[in-house]
Structure 1
Amino acid sequence: MSDLKTRSLTGVAMILVALGAVWVGGMVFALFVAAAATAVYWEWTQISKKWGIAWRIGGFFYCLFPALALLFLRERIEGLDLVLWVFIATWATDIGAYFAGRAIGGPKLAPRISPNKTIAGLVGGMAAAALLGGAWAHANGLAPVLYVLGAPMAVAAQAGDLFESWMKRRAGVKDSGALLPGHGGVFDRLDGLLVVAFFTGALSYAGLV
């Protein structure tokens, strides 16, 4: 099986599992979030195992807070649509950045950390997240602030991606793990979503979303 086919099949499977868990909610979603957070934390500890105890403690909270944010969002009356907004904003960022980066190219965003990322890709990701996130929020009657939060959340997602890339570069590894065929580790797939989930949850807790 080709790498592209493997990557595509794994990606579709991950999306279906995530959507199914969100749809069912309750204990199923809680177990799904706990498993994902645990996997990310395990990969974090493997990347940073030579960096001292502070990194282990920091990684614990880096994984815990987004997990709690997702659980908090899902328990709200409009929780299903809110969590799906988080997913849509994150996935739109990745897709928009990929296609804009390949189509336009141009100056690199952070060449010392992630040589393949471009400024055009960041702008494309912001545009896609703003468009799709705003459309989802409007269609489902979510808080009006979510109509415009897609773009800044795209920046947050890219920051999370770059942070994980910096960790891997410092550790001298290509992927955070090998659990997901064609995709590397769980941290590799959730680096942006962790940040978007945390900020969306914080805004919701503050009563702004």
Structure 2
Amino acid sequence: MSELALRSLAGLVMVMIALLAEWLGGTVFALFVAAAATGIYYEWSRLVKGWGVGWHLAGFAYALLPALALLWVRERAGVPAGAKGFELVLWAFIVTWSADIGAYFTGRTFGGLKLAPSISPNKTISGLVGGLIAATLLGGIWAQSTHLSWPWLVLAPLFALASAGGDLFESWLKRKAGVKDSGSLIPGHGGVLDRLDGLIPVATLTGLAVLAGLQ
């Protein structure tokens, strides 16, 4: 099986698991999120081993905050009449996934100027633009079809940019640690942190937006 086929198959399986857990909600989604947060912190701890206690504390917050945000938005944001906890968490997933997939295929197709060659040599400006466009379109379609308020249309490209920033930050962390991947759990993708680096800022920002009153 080619690397692209393996990557695509593993990605599809992960998406289906995430969608099922989010649809079921409750204990199932809580366990799913807790497992993801545990994986993030475990891999972070391996990367920063020997860097000092401050890095481990930062990693704890890095794993905990997006997990709390996703759980709160999914379960607590749905308490007021008309609130859309399920739709908002799925919006965060869609923005992150479409930004990542759009950047991957656009970058491979068009190439061009590197985005941050000293941090991640394979990322391109064309890939960033493609990811932003994909996230804006798909996030916007989901927001409109589920009747989310209009600010979510504006936030889609902004949060997609934050997703790219999360990806670059993790690339910098791995370069500092001298490793290619954060782990080897997911075939074709690397570790849990490699897959969720973009969702971490998006989930946190989505939680803050809901906390500010957006529905």
Query: TM-score normalised to the size of structure 2?
Result: 0.94
- 1:95-121 per-position Cα deviation (integer Å, ceiling 9, x unaligned): 111122122222111000001111111
Matched, 1:115 2:121: yes
Name the counterpart of 1:178: 184
CA RMSD in angstroms comes to 1.1
CA distance in 2, matches of 1:62, 1:46: 14
How many equivalent pairs are there?
A: 209
Which ranges in structure 2 are unaligned for 5 or more consecutive residues? 79-83
2:165 to 149, 159, 183: 159
Distance 1:184 1:153, change over 3 A: same
Alignment of 1:81-120 (within 5 A): 81-120=87-126
Structure 2 counterpart of 1:73: 73
Per the TM alignment, residue 144 of structure 1 is displaced from its structure 2 partner at its CA by 1.1
- Opposite residue 81 of structure 1, the aligned amino acid is E
1:206 counterpart = 2:215:
no
- Identity of aligned pairs, percent? 61
Change (3 A) 1:8 1:104: closer
Residue in 1 aligned with 2:17?
Answer: 17
SS in structure 1 of the partner of residue 123 of structure 2: strand
For 2:21, what is the secondary structure of its paired residue? helix
Cα distance in 1, alignment partners of residues 3 and 108 from structure 2: 19
Alignment partners' CA distance in 1, 2:106 and 2:66? 28
Runs of at least 5 residues in structure 1 that lack an aligned partner in the other structure: none
Is 1:35 the counterpart of 2:30 in the alignment?
A: no
1:169 alignment partner, one of 158, 175, 184: 175
Worse-superposed segment, 3-12 or 50-59: 3-12
**Equivalent-residue separation in structure 1 for 2:101 and 2:184 (angstroms):** 22
Give a deviation string over 1:124-150, Cα, whole Å, max 9, x none.
111111111011000001121111211
- CA drift of 1:13 comes to 1.2
* Partner Cα separation in structure 1 for residue 181 and residue 51 of structure 2: 18
Closer/same/farther in 2, CA of residues 52 and 41 from structure 1, 3 Å limit: same
Distance 1:143 1:57 in 2: 36
Deviation at 1:64, TM superposition (A): 0.5
- Describe the SS at the equivalent of 1:149: helix
The CA distance in 2 between the partners of 1:16 and 1:165, in whole Å, is 26
- For 2:12 and 2:98, the matched residues in 1 are separated by 15
Query: By how many angstroms is 1:174 displaced?
Result: 0.5
Q: Distance in 2 between matches of 1:95 and 1:181?
A: 17
Query: Hey, what's the Cα distance between the residues in 1 that align with 2:127 and 2:188?
Result: 22
Find the aligned partners of 2:71 and 2:149 in 1 and give their Cα distance.
19
Q: Which residue of 2 aligns with 1:48?
A: 48
Give CA-to-partner distance per residue, 1:71-109, whole Å, 9 cap, x none.
011012211111110000001101111122122222111
What code does the residue aligned with 1:136 have? W
